[in-house]
Structure 1
């Protein structure tokens, strides 16, 4: 089967050169599993976090803690770890299916126990699995799909409306899977999630992480760096200097706007988003020179929005909604809709989950029979974008918390 990494590179030819530099190393051997890639990407982000953190806080040292507002690269290791947790859930789901092919389970609980899940992780998965059985799924297929949520916010299913909607959507996705046998149908769902998370992890690390690495390497040999020098001397492939300056000037003028600017399609029509990354690096340098902490933090937040827009608008979105869906997958967008109410990330000591965000917003359909988290879809750009900005605002209240860096996930199936 063609690997997710190979598929990603074939769909993003502009990333081939940079990907070769980042991935064609001994640690990124061709036989690496998605979880092994994720571990190394998380480790790479941790290094970038400290180096880029020192741009806005020159007192920061590797392994240390900063009380300055975190930049995008400080969020990145935690987000990568979350993707790895989802891939680990896929590995557990695959283990359930492989075991069932040898001997079917007696119950959903039996299937989860055979996969080695602890009692605490089994609670929400068993609850969802039993609902899936009610919807007609065989025991092992139900347990496999339910195990995908073991690293997610299972507490969201305490709302019976969320539980019933999630089970109904999961069942519909299962029945739509391009396979005949029950275990094969479940496997198509599992494979779709694993590929989606892996391709997104690779896309963002290659593009934004790679751009950050190029910037830091340039900065190391540049001497005294100023925003003006960034705009005139540093560039990225396809970036347009005049566009980068336009975005930088806008950020400097509007960093303290309330609400913070966020619709960059409308603000910068026709701008190439590599230009936005160059502008973000210049804005981070401006933040380092800011006269007050408040001004510094406002500029960092603008730089973060620029980088995050590039990340989500241009790199993540084609992964969630590919222009040409794969014939051996279920709908990626439909799968993300199923999982959206349970999405959660630990940004160090700062905990974020999508359900809290959804409940904080006006009820979209005004229907008391539907829960608010089920009215959103992480694969829809604006649903994802506004949820991410909500997470940023939460994290900005506890900046030191993000420096509790995550432990990269090890692949339990790797030899």
Structure 2
């Protein structure tokens, strides 16, 4: 699947940018004002792609839930356990917030070309950063000033965390370690000036999130669309689970591997906790085969005799989908085999971002800091807070946390259907004379 296959019901905004050797460049701002017109245009690639992906996930979430819950109506809520695709729009939205933060960071950098700001607050104000995001950006930016950064550079890096969890920054250990890591990434960034280095950091964040967003959607959403089309051709609700593992030919999947994964899930569906270490439990079973097994388990759930069995089967299917998502699809975006030219190390950037991560799930929010509060102190050092001991770029750190977020969503299954609204429509950019 390519970007041409993404849902196309979002506005078509043609970018007014031109490529250069160091990446996408926008016209330099020579006036002390918010460059809002070109900023909106510059969001067309990453943010518009993110919006279409989020909308595509919403459609798939509804289509799959109709399969699992005959009483479900698109646009409503379901008491049946949420399928994986009901979580995906919320995760995609968080990626979009990060992309928006990167765009605002680059707006601050461009504005600084005309005249440097006299404070972090001025840098944020003249580029339209407002609301709760402004509070986070100010706190991070003001702290970054202690590392000798200019107001504009500090403010630009602050906006990268503008959608983050503000409460976790109340812990001075988390605030100091996170900002120190950002400063270290900046000092190692390519660029002849501090502003160019800050732009490299922002560009890395935007591209990393875009790469992950597109990779997951192309892989898992693409497989789901193929499955739903195959299912229609094969008799819709007349399809049996065994028919899926034998007859649904997904590229890269093997029917023997899919059957093995499907049978394993049926044997362990009532285990507590549910199986999650599929590298050990199913050695040699590829991720694409896990997708086929997940679709078969959705058919098992549809046919389950009671709600408990149905929910357990959905949860097993979700774990297979999530494993493929995290272990195979998104990992190369966080830790590419080679560092892309003009970028900073993505793993180091993600390490700086990790402590503040949060995921809005309808009316509730999952926060990494809440999760780590329930875990052991890894380094037994009071000077380091627990959230700073994790790196979201590392699969072993990320996987248990993802499963924890799923459990929170399951406890609020009906509220999870309050789907996120488009970010682009909510851009609140302020013109400053």
2:250 aligned counterpart, secondary structure: coil
Counterparts of residues 11-410 of structure 1 (less than 5 Å): 18-19=1-2, 22-23=5-6, 32-223=44-235, 224-410=238-424
Gaps of 5+ in 2: 16-43
- For residues 364-393 of structure 1, the C-alpha deviation after alignment (integer angstroms, 9 at most, x for no partner) is 111111100000000000111111000001
The TM-score normalised by the length of structure 1 is: 0.92
Cα separation, 1, equivalents of 2:94 and 2:139: 22
Partners of 2:9 and 2:52 within 8 A in 1: no
Gaps of 5+ in 1: 1-17
**Residue aligning to 2:25:** none
Using the TM superposition, give the Cα deviation of residue 408 of structure 1 relative to its aligned residue in structure 2, in angstroms. Answer: 2.1
Partners of 1:34 and 1:198 within 8 A in 2: yes
1:102 aligned counterpart, secondary structure: coil
1:345 aligned counterpart, secondary structure: strand
Relative to its length, the structure with more helix (as a share) is 1
Partners of 1:38 and 1:409 within 8 A in 2: no
Using the TM superposition, give the Cα deviation of residue 21 of structure 1 relative to its aligned residue in structure 2, in angstroms. Answer: 5.8
CA RMSD of aligned residues (A): 1.8
- For residues 195-225 of structure 1, the C-alpha deviation after alignment (integer angstroms, 9 at most, x for no partner) is 0000111000100010011111111232211
2:258 aligned counterpart, secondary structure: helix
Q: 1:24 to 1:123 in 2, by over 3 A?
A: closer
- For residues 112-141 of structure 1, the C-alpha deviation after alignment (integer angstroms, 9 at most, x for no partner) is 111212253322221211111111111100
Q: 1:146 to 1:21 in 2, by over 3 A?
A: closer
Partners of 2:7 and 2:55 within 8 A in 1: no
2:369 aligned counterpart, secondary structure: helix
Q: 1:25 to 1:346 in 2, by over 3 A?
A: closer
The TM-score normalised by the length of structure 2 is: 0.88
Cα separation, 2, equivalents of 1:216 and 1:91: 36
Cα separation, 2, equivalents of 1:283 and 1:133: 53
Using the TM superposition, give the Cα deviation of residue 24 of structure 1 relative to its aligned residue in structure 2, in angstroms. Answer: 9.8
Query: Which 4+ stretches in 1 moved above 6 angstroms?
Result: 24-30
Partners of 1:178 and 1:327 within 8 A in 2: no
Cα separation, 2, equivalents of 1:134 and 1:204: 38
Using the TM superposition, give the Cα deviation of residue 312 of structure 1 relative to its aligned residue in structure 2, in angstroms. Answer: 0.7
Partners of 2:261 and 2:285 within 8 A in 1: no
1:238 aligned counterpart, secondary structure: coil
1:399 aligned counterpart, secondary structure: coil
Using the TM superposition, give the Cα deviation of residue 295 of structure 1 relative to its aligned residue in structure 2, in angstroms. Answer: 1.3
Partners of 1:179 and 1:185 within 8 A in 2: yes
2:330 aligned counterpart, secondary structure: helix
